[in-house]
Chain A
């Protein structure tokens, strides 16, 4: 029974770039890295020059004979249609994390085998997923979902699984139980990637394949080569003595994109942000996670960084609302210089899907709501948006604003006769209709008032037709913010019904607002 799967992505540096630019997948591609040539440009020259050499090439380029280590000129000579991209560390690191997370979506026990290599402990997965073939197909599906093309091998040991993945012709290769040694026998010994000294020794002995190595007497190998030799022998017979080192995901999820050109327009930057967010969201979706916050770090051409934290109003894994929020935030806080690198980190959380009530009235979908709130916030300012909450005070117009978050539970149902009272619902008698509304003036406008006794008779130039008052109020007399006022309801000559207030501390009159 197979216990390990190996997920292998060949030519990983090229695959990482193809993941960021999927259009390159079918075309010959070489990844270049600059090397310092100490020999200089000529005899007697002490200056070092930079030579671009091929670090990796995809399968299409390799068909034309392009190999790692070639100079760019040599590679282009062999393949005139060759496309080249510089090696970007962030691409490779992101792709490596993405590969491990995709494997983690299938099994909780995985091991980081290096660049483009992940080992998966498949013990117990048969009951969840099915036979080894189905487990392999699931792994292929998960890895393809994050933009990489893998080959998967399943065998009783990690080495056998890796060799099966590397040598198999299909996307999934399963080595039947007990057939590991036979499968490994034809694999060249170089595939074990032993040290150069050990490899040279086996070369001198004429040992070319793992089958020939496995045929050597174990005691003899141990006597001559010590522990490294024994380990090589064990691997050749399909035994893994190395402990399994489980990999756990880091507490951050990050995707990055380096740019070959400088971006100084938010519209163009939005396109790059969308690309990076797409990759990030695919990773999150692969392991059923959502993000509740984003951290955007923009590398600037001036050498500095511009960092923004974007709080997502609800946990999400959709690109569109995330992009809208990110762009709106950057519109409000634009980077001070042209951008040359984009890095986005997500704070992931796990959510549980729920179902709304059958009789619950429809509310704005969280995705739509967060988008419209972000747009409104950019339009009128975050302080001018939200739900008002009156403060428990007798001071006039005392309220605060809270972030708009309508309660998920339905409104208290109408009580029928005989029903017990609901604990949190306001009594029906308090829900009064036909309340006269006041249109507030903010701030209250200071007015000149003529009085007869204390009763107002004229406001600015307008005659007072009728009045009622004073309605005395005061508060916070124990504090520096003490206030005291007399309120009057008056009808003015033009028919307006308004509320006046006389500040008893200063003696000034104010127009609080109009009843309407």
Chain B
């Protein structure tokens, strides 16, 4: 994984993008990166869209992943994330807000910012649009470029892979070079 795209410990990172733009695949890669190092991660899933099968196929040790399902209630999701970032020891807390990102008061964003700084947890938020404004140290936008199909005959029978690119919207630690495009296979 490109080091410039990794969630930063003790900071808030946001990944935004439209549906099928690759943001969830990026989230999965971040979770896999953390879990492979033997660390513990948590995923607060506001819409219960996480697919354990995809994660298992990606080689993620699901025993090190705490999955919190919030049944579509974003207020609960925000409160759950707030609790988790205050628990030292989690290397990554991911908050998946899905398509309907709520308005977050600036005070709440600052609360989250200072909480992750105190516990050195990396908070990763993904959603349709940005949530925490200037409290995020890194904000990325994912865009889909190419779709490739596969199949034995002229008519494809399966999706093969998707190429996405990433644009840096905000990087507090100076200019970041445009990350290379990336293929995601099924």
Out of B24, B91, B98, B185, which one reaches A434, CB within 8 Å? B185
Please encode chain A, from 375 to 394, with 1 for each CB lying within 8 Å of some chain B CB and 0 for all others: 11001100011111110000
B5 within 8 A of A: no
Report how far A431 CA is from B37 CA in the complex, Å. Answer: 13
A309 within 8 A of B: no
Q: Most chain-B CB neighbours within 10 Å: which of A373, A434, A441? A: A434
Determine, out of A49-57, A246-254, A360-368, the stretch whose residues face the partner at the interface: A360-368
B110 within 8 A of A: no
Report how far A348 CA is from B28 CA in the complex, Å. Answer: 41
Please encode chain B, from 50 to 61, with 1 for each CB lying within 8 Å of some chain A CB and 0 for all others: 111111111101
B107 within 8 A of A: no
Report how far A493 CA is from B83 CA in the complex, Å. Answer: 40
- Verify B70–A471 contact, CB threshold 8 A: no
A405 within 8 A of B: yes
Out of A380, A407, A437, A471, which one reaches B28, CB within 8 Å? A437
B161 within 8 A of A: yes
Out of A379, A388, A432, which one reaches B80, CB within 8 Å? A379
Report how far A458 CA is from B38 CA in the complex, Å. Answer: 45
B62 within 8 A of A: yes
Kindly list chain B residues whose C-beta atoms are within 8 Å of the C-beta of A371: 87
- Verify B151–A468 contact, CB threshold 8 A: yes
Kindly list chain A residues whose C-beta atoms are within 8 Å of the C-beta of B147: 466, 491, 497
Determine, out of B15-23, B130-138, B171-179, the stretch whose residues face the partner at the interface: B15-23
Determine, out of A161-169, A170-178, A207-215, A508-516, the stretch whose residues face the partner at the interface: A508-516
- Interface size for B (C-beta < 8 A) is 71
A423 within 8 A of B: no
Kindly list chain B residues whose C-beta atoms are within 8 Å of the C-beta of A470: 157
Report how far A278 CA is from B37 CA in the complex, Å. Answer: 39
Report how far A467 CA is from B149 CA in the complex, Å. Answer: 9
CB distance from A380 to the nearest CB of B (A): 6
- Verify B157–A468 contact, CB threshold 8 A: yes
CB distance from B115 to the nearest CB of A (A): 12
CB distance from B16 to the nearest CB of A (A): 12
- Verify B185–A376 contact, CB threshold 8 A: no
B29 within 8 A of A: yes
Out of B25, B67, B159, which one reaches A468, CB within 8 Å? B159
> Which size class do A's interface residues fall under?
35 or more
Please encode chain B, from 70 to 106, with 1 for each CB lying within 8 Å of some chain A CB and 0 for all others: 1100001001100110111111000000100000000
A411 within 8 A of B: yes
Q: Which residues of B in the span 24-57 have a Cβ within 8 Å of any Cβ on A?
A: 24-25, 27-29, 32, 35-40, 48-57
Q: Which residues of A in the span 451-484 have a Cβ within 8 Å of any Cβ on B?
A: 455, 466-471
- Verify B51–A513 contact, CB threshold 8 A: yes
Chain A residue with minimal CB distance to B47?
Answer: A439
- Verify B76–A437 contact, CB threshold 8 A: no
- Verify B84–A433 contact, CB threshold 8 A: no
A399 within 8 A of B: yes
Report how far A489 CA is from B157 CA in the complex, Å. Answer: 8
Interface residues of B (CB under 8 A from A): 1, 18-25, 27-29, 32, 35-40, 48-59, 61-71, 76, 79-80, 83-84, 86-91, 98, 144, 147, 149-151, 155-159, 161-162, 182-186
**Interchain residue pairs with CB less than 8 A apart (17):** A362-B39, A368-B89, A376-B83, A387-B62, A387-B67, A390-B56, A410-B38, A411-B38, A411-B61, A431-B59, A433-B1, A435-B25, A438-B51, A467-B156, A495-B18, A513-B49, A515-B162
Interface residues of A (CB under 8 A from B): 360-365, 368-369, 371-373, 375-376, 379-380, 384-390, 397, 399, 401, 404-407, 410-411, 426, 430-442, 455, 466-471, 489, 491, 494-498, 513-516
